[in-house]
Amino acid sequence: MEPILVLDKVDKAFGGLHVTDNVSFTVNRGELSAIIGPNGAGKTTLFNLITGYLRPESGTIRFKGEDIVGLRTQKIVARGIGRSFQITSVFPEETVLNNIRISSLSRLKQTTNFVRPAHRFRRATDAAHHILDSLGLTGQAERPAFELAHGDQKLLDIGVALALEPELILMDEPTAGMSPEERVLTRELIRKLWKEYNLTMVFIEHDMDMVFGIAQVVRVLQQGALLVEGTPDEIRNNKEVITAYLGEEL
């Protein structure tokens, strides 16, 4: 197994509060893993640290063997880390197709072109259509993103990250705010995308059916620290996790 992302003693404090407390773990290439933990456990902060949105006080974050601490978000993204957001983050006035297209254009390093119409870039457009197809959003391609239902906007958000063709994709609560039916569909979709695009995926989730349904590795955060990591079965039967987070019923 080849490690793609290695966190070593990563620490982040706001004032005296340790939001990320000495966290170390290794994500292997091709892995589909989940991060769980109660609200305020520092899950999103961890994503912010990995993507350079925040900078850790100490510790190293290695991506493909290189330390990425201190690099700007743009640089980290360019190295192959994509991200979707807990609170949907798309370009609301653009069409669904354009939302993906800008991402594809960015991957192909064509966003500096200022003379050719964007829709004439065949490779980017084809790639965008392919992603829309994978997400089942083809029928909505020409609608502005703000018109989409919440669930579809969440998928579009993932699509924008996917179009970067990242080697590692971080998804922050991909099913937040979705109906139970949508959650099931999204779970299967993510599993499908993971296989289809040969991705390494890390997702934060509160939906335990999703976590234990598709993740190969589960990491539990509590008050900024990594409480435990293991396979879904190991986590489900872990006494500490049960008392700290999951409750007796699991």
Partner 1 sequence: MNSSVKLKETAPWIVLILIFSLVPVLNTSDYQLTLANHMLVWGLFAVSFNMLFGQTGMLSFGQALYYGLGAYFTGMLVDRIGPEWFLPGMGMGIIAAGLLALAIGPLTIRVTGVYFTVLTLAFAQLAWGITFKWYEFTGGDDGIQGILPPGILNDPVVYYYFTLALVLASIWFLRRIAHSPFGLTLRCIRQNPERVRFLGRRVRRNQLGIYIISGVFAALAGGLVAGVDNSIHTDMFFWTTSGEVILMSVLGGIGQFFGPFLGAGLIILIEDVVGAYTEYWSFIIGAIMLVMVILFPMGVLGEIQKLRARMKGRHAKREITGEGELGTDPRTR
Read out DSSP for 104-172? HHHHTT-TT--SS-GGG-HHHHHHHHHHHHHHT-GGGTTSBGGGS-HHHHHHHHHHHHHTT--SEEEEE
Site residues for partner 1 per CB under 8 A: 51, 72-75, 77-78, 82-83, 85, 89-95, 98, 101-103, 105-107, 110-119, 121, 124, 144, 146-147, 160-161, 164
Smallest separation, CB 108 to partner 1 (Å): 9
Smallest separation, CB 48 to partner 1 (Å): 11
Distance between CA atoms of residues 188 and 213, nearest Å? 9
* Residue (143 or 191) nearer to partner 1, CB: 143
Contact 34, 218 (CB under 8 A): yes
Smallest separation, CB 136 to partner 1 (Å): 22
Smallest separation, CB 113 to partner 1 (Å): 5
DSSP state of 46: H
* Residue (47 or 245) nearer to partner 1, CB: 47
Tokens of 87: 């609170």
- Is 85 strand, coil or helix? coil
Q: Which residues of 228-237 are buried (b: 16+ CB within 10 A; e: fewer)?
A: bbeebeebbe
Smallest separation, CB 232 to partner 1 (Å): 29
* Residue (56 or 166) nearer to partner 1, CB: 166
Tokens of 12: 């982040």
* Residue (83 or 187) nearer to partner 1, CB: 83
* Residue (106 or 216) nearer to partner 1, CB: 106
